[in-house]
Amino acid sequence: MPANLPPQYYALEKELKKETDPHEKLRLAKECLATIPKHKGTDKLQAELKAKISKLKKQIEGGVKKHGARHVDVLSHIEKEGAAQIILLGPPNSGKSSLLDSLTNSKPLIGDYPYTTREPMAGMMEYDTVQFQLIDTPPISAEYLESYLYNLTRQADLAALVVDVSVAGFAKCLKVLFERMEEKRIILTPQVPEIIDDPRFAFKKTIIAAHKYLDENGKTGLQELKKQYPDFTIIPTSILNDESLNNFKETIFKALGIIRVYTKRVGHDVDYRDPVILPIGGTVDDAAYALHKDFARKLQYAKIWGQGKFEGQRVKNSYVLSDKDVIEFHI
């Protein structure tokens, strides 16, 4: 039986053969597998790709050595923690490290000179009982870009561009950043398209922090930024203004398209410490599955508390939840 492979597969396969970075090879191999039609004529090819994927995963985890030494850049992957991983990108001296310092317990090296940050640093940011992981990264310019940034950006759930709007020429620096990322087929975009014609491209949802907007010329720069990038969500930020930092947190939460659901055991109070995180449109069944798949299978019904709902309202497993709902499972 002929394989009848689509053109996208051959384009991805060509990229896979040229690629040397194991994380990028793993992504391309998974994309190849996803494009293959599922029938008997492709069984062998599917098996080969699955074996390749397994081998690459072991290599990335450190289980495979090549020529006696590991060839995996440990900086190109940071294990996700919390509800989502947000990568901070920006030109030199844009203020990424100062934001990380203000929003998390991390203590990055902060300096008035460019390229202070040499390696990525992660920190946990809390917003209304939800923990998010922020990753500070080295700056991006025409002359400088760490290769591992591409993989870090691909794996993140959201990108936040940080730009100092108080300095002249920031727009040109931001344009260079977009271009450098696009060179590696990473498109920073206000919204990820529903249909991606070329699977070699990674579209990453992005917001822009107009940092240092309270500094001299900052408000003028903010207006210029809004004119140049009207489709992007732009948040004015300053480490001197707590309200702007809270707005930044809220914007991240909304951009991720998620909701918080709190749980309570029968006869007990609500647990507000560790909410279940679901995509908008998530159901009771999804919340149960997020706790444990066996728990979800045994679930009979649930009771719901929340805004605009009857207190303790009994609902089916397919019931669509809202942000900050309280749910009591019955098995």
What is the band of 162 on the pLDDT scale with cuts at 50, 70, 90?
Answer: very high
Q: How far apart are CA 281 and CA 286, in angstroms?
A: 10
What is the band of 67 on the pLDDT scale with cuts at 50, 70, 90?
Answer: very low
Confirm if 179 and 144 have CB atoms less than 8 A apart. Answer: no
pLDDT tens digits, 252-308: 999 999 999 999 888 888 988 889 999 999 999 999 998 888 778 888 888 999 887
Query: Domain-by-domain residue ranges, the chain?
Result: 7-60, 74-255, 259-330
3-state secondary structure of 260: strand
Portion of the chain with pLDDT greater than 90, in percent = 49
Would you say the CATH fold of 259-330 matches that of 74-255? no
Confidence (pTM)? 0.79
Phi, psi of 45 (to 5 degrees): -65, -40
Phi, psi of 187 (to 5 degrees): -105, 115
Q: Above 70 in pLDDT, residue 64?
A: no
Confirm if 203 and 182 have CB atoms less than 8 A apart. Answer: no
Kindly indicate whether the domain formed by 259-330 is annotated with CATH number 3.10.20.30: yes
Class for domain 74-255, per CATH? alpha beta
For residue 291, what are the CA distances in angstroms to 249, 253, 260, 269, 294?
25, 21, 13, 18, 9
Q: What share of the chain is helix, strand, coil (3-state, %, to 5)?
A: 35, 25, 40
Q: What is the mean pLDDT of the chain?
A: 86
What is the band of 118 on the pLDDT scale with cuts at 50, 70, 90?
Answer: low
